[in-house]
Structure 1
Amino acid sequence: MISENINQIQSEIPDHVTLVAVSKYQSIEDTMAVLDAGIHDLGESRVQDFLKKYEVIGDRSRWHFIGHLQKNKVKYLIGKTFLIHSVDSIELVNVIEKESKKQGIVTDVLLQLNLAREDSKSGILAENLNAVLEVIPSCQFVRVKGLMAMGPLTQNNEKIREIFMELKRIYDRIKEESWGEVIKMNYLSMGMTDDYTIAIEEGSNMIRVGRKIFS
């Protein structure tokens, strides 16, 4: 069933879009089934669960940490992730820089925005984004590779589309500006099970899908 679900999703998305299988809450067996189906980008949102799977799967996956990241848990991710999607403050940038320096490893991250301004979501508000970006060029062990956001909690597809359009505009603006080598807009991570088709229409090149793969 997992491989059939993945095949269905892959038939719907363009080749340039990376499918991140959100394996949080899933068993090792089901997570391995995703790898067997040819998907090697896995998304986890809790450090403890991630570490348990990493012990078994290791570098056979490109690991994406997509959940809210507490500063005291950063050290457990360094050197193990392909991307940390959920960087939402200057303080978190500084901790990732410090812990990465300790291990002599450069950590790639995405900046998470909260464009819907929902209290239930983490993320940088649009008006605070430049303050975070201005910190990055002084970092030696953190590289920003793009942006991430979640669609708003609504059934209104037009409101969802508006948020994704706004994120794409911000992504394009940063791409055109000169922020230095440590800020590159390579990945626009937006779109989940219920809204990834809208996200792709609005320019997403990385979607995070869980329920549609594992249900």
Structure 2
Amino acid sequence: MSISQNLNNIKSSLPEHVTLVAVSKTKPNADILEAYEAGQRVFGENYVQELVEKHDQLPKDIEWHFIGHLQSRKAKLIAPFVSLIHGVDSLKLLLEINKQAQKNNRVIDCLLQVHIADEETKFGLDESELEEILHFVQNDKNEIKNVRIVGLMGMATFTEDQNQIKKEFESLKSLFDKFKTQNPDFKTLSLGMSGDYELAISCGSTMVRIGSSIFGNRNYN
């Protein structure tokens, strides 16, 4: 099936309150434009340089999300235009995004990444680190006014065990519910990718990051 057919099939299956992020990393501009022509406006990229190039070359009404692991020193490159940064996993990074957003006279929406997987290779905060950052931001509104923490993001373990994935998704949903009561901006729970987005939605996800089911398998060359 074509990219536009894949996209329309997925979109028609999503509840209204769930945002689809089309993960376009390593994909050529022509593929992104095909999805764009089919009505998709939210795209996610993992690599800063690739994101900057695509932003420069593609339609300006695209809403770009950075979904990879962001190094603090590279935050300045995407600060002028990025709509949402998914994987904020340290206070140091959050402060740097705030600094760069301030320079660009913007407020940048961010999600805090929580470590829910049973894998050491995945990035993310534990519950106490999450609490510390949220507490710091709430008590330092004068300093941190150019970022807005709008929710949480997580990646499940890479496994066939659906019960384990479900348990990890539910653990993040319960954290989201717990902190939402004290954080009025909390509206986004970014959970679920091509292989598990339906399960993620059933566990409360409001944003899914789908790449291969739209664009086909990734090109690593």
TM-score (norm 1): 0.95
Structure 2: gaps spanning 5 or more residues: 217-221
Query: 2:14 — aligned with what?
Result: 13
1:167 is matched with which residue? 172
Q: Do the aligned partners of 1:136 and 1:143 also contact (CA within 8 Å) in 2?
A: no
Q: What are structure 1's unaligned runs of at least 5 residues?
A: none
1:141 to 139, 142, 146: 146
Shift of 1:11: 2.1
Q: Which residue of 1 aligns with 2:194?
A: 193
Q: Distance in 2 between matches of 1:105 and 1:11?
A: 34
How far apart are residue 118 of structure 1 and its match?
2.1
CA distance in 1, matches of 2:136, 2:146: 12
Correspondence for 1:57: 58
Q: Show the counterpart of 2:129.
A: 128
Does structure 2 conserve the Cα–Cα contact (< 8 Å) formed by 1:147 and 1:189? yes
Shift of 1:117: 4.8
Identity %: 39
- The alignment yields a C-alpha RMSD, in angstroms, of 1.2
Q: Deviations over 1:78-114 (max 9, x none)?
A: 1311100010001101111111122221111010111
Q: Bigger CA drift: 107-116 or 56-65?
A: 56-65
- Which runs of 4 or more aligned residues in structure 1 lie more than 2 Å from their structure 2 counterparts after TM superposition? none
Distance 1:157 1:6 in 2: 24
Contact 1:20 1:41 in 2 (8 A): yes
Displacement of 1:185: 1.1
1:76 and 2:81 matched:
no
For 1:6, the aligned partner's letter is: L
What residue identity is the alignment partner of 1:208? R
8 Å Cα contact 1:79/1:107 also seen in 2: no
**Which letter does structure 2 place at the counterpart of 1:42?**
F
- The within-5 A match list for 1:78-157 is 78-137=79-138, 138=140, 139-157=144-162
Distance in structure 1 (CA, Å) of the matches to 2:124 and 2:35: 29
Secondary structure of 2:121's aligned partner: coil
- One-letter amino acid of the structure 2 residue matched with residue 196 of structure 1: Y
What is the CA deviation profile of residues 113-168 of structure 1, one whole-angstrom value per residue up to 9, with x for unaligned ones?
11125221111122321111122232111110111001111110010001111111
CA–CA distance in 2 between the matches of 1:188 and 1:206? Answer: 6
* Number of equivalences: 211
The answer on whether the counterparts of 1:87 and 1:110 sit within 8 Å (CA) in structure 2 is: yes
* 2:66 maps to amino acid: F
